[in-house]
Structure 1
Amino acid sequence: VTFGTMAARGVIRDVGRVMNMPYADVDVIAKQVPAGPGALHITLDDALRLSKPLREQYETDEQVKKLIDTAKALEGMPRHASTHAAGVVITKRPVYEYVPLAKNDDAVVCQYVMTTLEELGLLKMDFLGLRNLTVLDDAVKMVQERLPDFKLSDIPEDDPETFEMISAGKTSGVFQMESAGMTGVCVGLRPQNIEDITAIIALYRPGPMDSIPRFIACKHDSSKIKYLHPSLEPILSVTYGCIVYQEQVIQIFQQLAGYSLGQADMVRRAISKKKAAQIEKEREAFLHGDPERNIAGCVANGIPEETAQAIYQDIYDFANYAFNKAHAVSYAVVAYQTAWFKCHYTREYMAALLTSVLDNSDKVAGYISECRDCGIALLPPDINRSADRFTVEEGGIRFGLVAIKNIGRGFIQAVMREREQAPFTSLYDFCDRMAGSDINKRAVENLIRSGAFDALGARRSQLIQVYESVMDAVADSRRQNLEGQMDFFSLADGSSGGRKNVKEIPLPDIDEYTPEERMLMEKETTGLYLSGHPMDQYREAVRRLGAPTIGSILGDFAQEGGPTRFADDQRITICGIVTSSKTKTTRNNSLMAYVTVEDDTASIELLCFARVLESCGPYLKENQAVVVKGRLSVRDEKAPQILCDSAYLLSAAGAPAAEGQAAKAPDQVLYLKFPSLDHPSVRHMKLVFQMFPGNAAVKMVMADTRKVYGTHASLHEALLQEARETLGEANVVVK
């Protein structure tokens, strides 16, 4: 078990919730607590000392003072118990004979935390399951279908093409290297071997990240590599003179000062845990030795005292950040293997990767986008060709049936067995032959809507109209057979009667659904757009707006070292399709909405308060393409959200004025008449102008004061239409 404690930011949020303070107010206060590396150890007293805005609020606002005083009383107390994800205690006799046990949900856990268990002398092992090992295993099996003798162990460790791919930043889907920051390090370092990848994995964490520029500079220019003493070169040469690994710290103590490996490791632990008294005691032993522990010391080994002091200081500065090399190498090998597969067996690897993330539609969408970039077609589900998982075909990667909602694995296995006898030829043939299995109308409808029957020649619109009749006819036919009823005419012509007398129900002659309707059906049944993406038609408009992809924003915040491109509270513009919108009433009885917007890389949640809903609510309807402007909001351990300032239809915002659809010449002036400067229509139209940047003059006349205010915009027809709807036809004039 582990105990989550009330840390500074979290305790402010918890107390604010209990005090019924508005979320937005508490969020502002919580974010005044410094974040970043080491922030877990910052107390509320530290925060008041370090943050002037927080201190001023505390001293001037009675409610904030009460909030923080209450939070101080609770700070550091256990908040909840959770399960240590990978920790397993191994004992000779049943565990309950040593320590008390408890249940967390269905898991049996020790009631003591990790450190107590270690002090009691029990063996605690961390077992880490890696999804990527399953991905590699699945990829190997797919390759073996073509090359039966292929083995993972046959992969060369020094493949130039793989390292070239990593160095070019093509790391999407590569273990440990997907984040924007890590990709940037790969491009800068240009790794040439697994040793380089190991170092990247060890360095790319808060703290040691600061030494990455020096590491890269030394790799590319050996003249910049410096050793405090020649005896350090054999130990540090693999990392270009930088201390990166815990094993290097141990080697320095062992080889320069004569420590045993066990003694050296105890010092490393003391330094990493900042045990000051022990660190100072060891400095003397490192320099001049300790006869009681049979340690010779650096000076006795011919290293000048001044140099030894500098080396010890170097160790002190870096040991806290040093990473376990055995762990980093294990990860580096898996990272290299995934990169090798992506480079040489791209389809097999991406199919295995897609199968592994089926429960995460954002990741599936991102990897589908990567397939597109690699020139690999993603083929829609096909009742005669799809397996349960993603599979490789000549034309690309075939979508697996298990991703379609309401389709169980047992039913899919039955479909795969049945079609081995002969391919399905029609919807009726499928329903007739599968009637003995756990087939149901919802499953058949979803197969049709996802496109699984498209290859059989009928339109989805036709099949949706007749599938219930087909299934009812099959059921009636089987029931007659079971009851032994024979058709009079079938007896007369000598046939055996029964199921085969039911004729295929004719398909109605109706138009197919539009491409947009088909995409929406696919989204509803699989969580993904398969035959395209609604954003495809807006790619040029998005490019002109310079909006980042949603995936790039989420990926930047997800990386271990923290974001490098984006920041909390940063103003941002994104484009996407509205996929859901849920409204709720806030504590002060105003309306707000949680709106999800997605592009072809990922989705993000917008927080839209009453002011925005009044002016932009009509544009935040499901399935509409929108441009959203707002500020990034990043709460502890939550995916980034956007506090929405404005939203507008993408088709309008993306269309250039030069297309001429009632676009006006640049020397024309738009005159708008408003009731007054503080009227809501002024704010609304200012937001609209932001969506239509351009050079045409706009004059805003106030009816009450006769004052005129100026701005500029593109006089697009959509802008004019919006102005007419907001102000009335008579108050919108172009001259």
Structure 2
Amino acid sequence: MLWLFLTYSYFLGLRTLTVIDKAIKLIKANHQIEVDFGNYDNKEVFELISSGNTEGIFQLESQGMKIFMRELCPSSLEDIIAGVSLYRPGPMDFIPKYIEGKKDVKKISYTHPKLKPILENTYGCIVYQEQVMQIVRDLAGYSLSRSDLLRRAMGKKKTKVMEKEREIFLYGDGIDIVGAVKNGIAPKIANDIFNEMVDFAKYAFNKSHATCYAIIAYQTAYLKALYNIEFMAALMSSVMDNHDKISQYIESCKRDGIKILPPDINTGFSDFTAVGNEIQYGLASIKNVGRISIDYIVQIRDKGKFTSLKDFCTRTFSKETNKRCIESLILAGAFDKLGGKRKQYFKAYEKILKHLIFSQKNVIIGQMSMFNDDEDNFPEIEEFEEFERQQLLELEKNVLGVYISGHPLDKVNIKLNKFITHKVIDFKNLGNNIIENQKVIIGGIITQVITCFTQKNQQMAFIKIEDLSGSIEGIVFPNQYNVLAEIQPVEIADTKAAEMQLKDIKPEDTEKVPDIKPVKVLVIEGFPRKKEDATFNIIVSKIKLLPDSIDEEQILLLNLCEEKRTSTIQQKLIGIFANHKGNSRIKVTFTENGLTKFYPNRYNIKINDEIIQELTQLLGSECIVVTKIQN
């Protein structure tokens, strides 16, 4: 029966079935285990789903479904089947009643006692089309075939037909349907039951359909719960051409403590692969690098690992590894472990390719030296300083779609955290602590700007704000658009700018290196708004640059519990203060009673990145707050 369900839903979840198949193969290769989903009653699976950590789980990864599953806390496959059926317009109205009934059976109620045997398994709620058919059969005397005709009419929303069926349901047709009233049900109650069925049936699933979805959802949750590394590798391999999805899943991996290994020409394959407790980046997901190219490279590599860029170019020299392919592999960091720098390789690879083309032509026309001195003429890889860190990261992101070897915020993150109230992850974790229309402050870089015009022909923009925990949409209305354009002009904010510059490099211009504009770190104030899909965006009210140094008109607030006010820590604090003398005062709050005290002025400090880092190492970031002096 299981395989019948899977066959039925094959076309509905083809990509997910491929993910399941690939994950099972990875698990077998890495653990020598044949995956057995058992009786679909694994406790760890239901705990995972109930936690809301359902990234990548079939049908359950939308923000709204995450919230629903967290409230529902499914404990059986039947709950998942019901959840998939209920999370649709129409049936969605029954969700509160279903959750209430599941948590407390005493609160389950039925419009009429005859509904209990039909709706008992779904806590008094109409969830499936089959239940509608059973209701009209048991309460009004419909035949099986006639009940199916009613189900179809409800689904097609045929008003005239439904009004006629209402009369038949209540009073019968005078032939073979007796009607609910003659079966002892009061006309008002029968009418109420019919109304419930009509409202539900407009968008309802049949149970067999929902069961197919639920089985696939359970299987993906099982793989994520028990073999998360292999599952996430298979999941990312299924969205190789969608860098937004890859970025989303990499964020999920980081939250789960899974390390993503950077692209490596000697260990990577076309797909993402599980390597111990880590995931090796899939080379075919790099822009301008196709699966055919990587499969060819792996075939050559099977005869021996590549030892240098020269060795790679010589051995893989063919139409499968063209200029664009090699260039993107270099900028993605795939050759980093060969010992050279990306800038060296970027400036050398084209000379190497030209030399190989020239040598090939000579061989064809028979002009190669009899002593084969071609090796002596091979172009040397010159020494160059590496790209500036920011430039290296931006070039990397242009070909990967994500930052892998680092992030532009790495060096300023400690300082940035002192100016914000929330991180992006706070809006992703089901938004439990987010209050709509209450001011928040976030910080990060803008990775995307989409401009448009209001009805009054004023410019506004939709932006993507990214910090180390993820990205979120911001809406910039005309009153702030000019500020945005001044701080970060749209042409600079366009993340495709560097990619276009790469495309403009001409074959003969080997010295040209793309010019990447400075990434600006911003502090953004705004008001969160929950969208229809239960995710949040930010209505931007103020935009400003992160200051180069923290304003000395601010004070340093240390929130210290008794354990962090020992004489040893006190001496260390005084030593830190002495090394950073300045004009900013230091205020201490005793966390157990709220008592506050200022250090004497002789301990005043200069607030900068270094002192914040030293204090964080000593006390922990949660103890340190930078705030303005209250006038």
TM-score scaled by length of structure 2: 0.73
Number of the residue aligned with 1:598: 466
**Structure 2 Cα separation of the partners of residues 580 and 539 of structure 1:** 20
**Structure 1 Cα separation of the partners of residues 23 and 628 of structure 2:** 52
**Structure 2 Cα separation of the partners of residues 334 and 428 of structure 1:** 47
Number of the residue aligned with 1:40: none
Number of the residue aligned with 1:505: 380
Q: How does 1:154-303 map to 2 (within 5 A)?
A: 154-271=37-154, 278-292=161-175, 294-298=176-180, 300-301=182-183
The CA deviation at 1:379 is 0.8
- Give the fraction of aligned pairs with identical amino acids, expressed as a percent: 39
1:355 to 232, 237, 242: 237
What letter matches 1:174 in structure 2? I
What letter matches 2:18 in structure 1? T
Number of the residue aligned with 1:646: 542
**Structure 1 Cα separation of the partners of residues 541 and 214 of structure 2:** 43
Question: What SS does the corresponding residue of 1:358 show, helix, strand or coil?
Answer: coil
Report the CA distance shift for 1:127/1:438 in structure 2 as closer, same or farther (over 3 A): closer
**Structure 1 Cα separation of the partners of residues 373 and 191 of structure 2:** 95
After superposition, the C-alpha distances for 1:137-165 in whole angstroms (9 at most, x for unaligned) are 222232233467736x7554111111111
Report the CA distance shift for 1:663/1:326 in structure 2 as closer, same or farther (over 3 A): farther
* Contact kept in structure 1, 2:67 and 2:430, CA below 8 Å: no
Larger relative contact order, structure 1 or 2 (CA cutoff 8 Å, min sep 6): 2
After superposition, the C-alpha distances for 1:619-661 in whole angstroms (9 at most, x for unaligned) are 5654212122346799999x99766443112356988944679
Structure 1 gaps of 5+ residues are: 1-124, 491-496, 557-562, 669-691, 698-735
2:34 to 150, 161, 164: 150
Number of the residue aligned with 2:444: 576
The CA deviation at 1:302 is 5.6
Number of the residue aligned with 2:396: 522
**Structure 2 Cα separation of the partners of residues 399 and 140 of structure 1:** 19
Larger mean Cα displacement after TM superposition, 649-658 or 428-437: 649-658
Residue 344 (structure 1) aligned with residue 226 (structure 2) = yes
The CA deviation at 1:481 is 3.4
Larger mean Cα displacement after TM superposition, 216-225 or 571-580: 571-580
Report the CA distance shift for 1:566/1:364 in structure 2 as closer, same or farther (over 3 A): farther
What letter matches 1:520 in structure 2? E
Paired residue total: 532
Number of the residue aligned with 2:615: none
TM-score scaled by length of structure 1: 0.63
Report the CA distance shift for 1:195/1:449 in structure 2 as closer, same or farther (over 3 A): same
Question: What SS does the corresponding residue of 1:421 show, helix, strand or coil?
Answer: coil
Report the CA distance shift for 1:663/1:205 in structure 2 as closer, same or farther (over 3 A): farther
Question: What SS does the corresponding residue of 1:291 show, helix, strand or coil?
Answer: coil
Question: What SS does the corresponding residue of 2:305 show, helix, strand or coil?
Answer: coil
Number of the residue aligned with 1:51: none
* Contact kept in structure 1, 2:419 and 2:441, CA below 8 Å: no
The CA deviation at 1:588 is 8.8
* Contact kept in structure 2, 1:544 and 1:654, CA below 8 Å: no
Question: What SS does the corresponding residue of 2:470 show, helix, strand or coil?
Answer: coil
After superposition, the C-alpha distances for 1:520-567 in whole angstroms (9 at most, x for unaligned) are 1211122211113334455553486233528947998xxxxxx99787
The CA deviation at 1:428 is 0.4
Q: How does 1:336-485 map to 2 (within 5 A)?
A: 336-485=218-367
2:482 to 613, 629, 639: 613
Number of the residue aligned with 1:134: 18
* Contact kept in structure 1, 2:355 and 2:379, CA below 8 Å: no
Number of the residue aligned with 1:694: 628
Question: What SS does the corresponding residue of 1:243 show, helix, strand or coil?
Answer: coil
**Structure 1 Cα separation of the partners of residues 337 and 366 of structure 2:** 36
Report the CA distance shift for 1:162/1:581 in structure 2 as closer, same or farther (over 3 A): closer
* Contact kept in structure 2, 1:477 and 1:502, CA below 8 Å: no
Number of the residue aligned with 1:680: none
**Structure 1 Cα separation of the partners of residues 389 and 345 of structure 2:** 16
Number of the residue aligned with 1:625: 521
* Contact kept in structure 2, 1:590 and 1:610, CA below 8 Å: no
Report the CA distance shift for 1:481/1:268 in structure 2 as closer, same or farther (over 3 A): closer
Aligned alpha-carbon RMSD (Å): 4.0
**Structure 2 Cα separation of the partners of residues 646 and 177 of structure 1:** 35
**Structure 2 Cα separation of the partners of residues 316 and 619 of structure 1:** 53
Number of the residue aligned with 2:205: 323
**Structure 1 Cα separation of the partners of residues 459 and 80 of structure 2:** 51
* Contact kept in structure 1, 2:462 and 2:473, CA below 8 Å: no
The CA deviation at 1:313 is 4.8
Question: What SS does the corresponding residue of 2:142 show, helix, strand or coil?
Answer: coil
Report the CA distance shift for 1:214/1:536 in structure 2 as closer, same or farther (over 3 A): farther
What letter matches 1:525 in structure 2? V
After superposition, the C-alpha distances for 1:39-85 in whole angstroms (9 at most, x for unaligned) are xxxxxxxxxxxxxxxxxxxxxxxxxxxxxxxxxxxxxxxxxxxxxxx
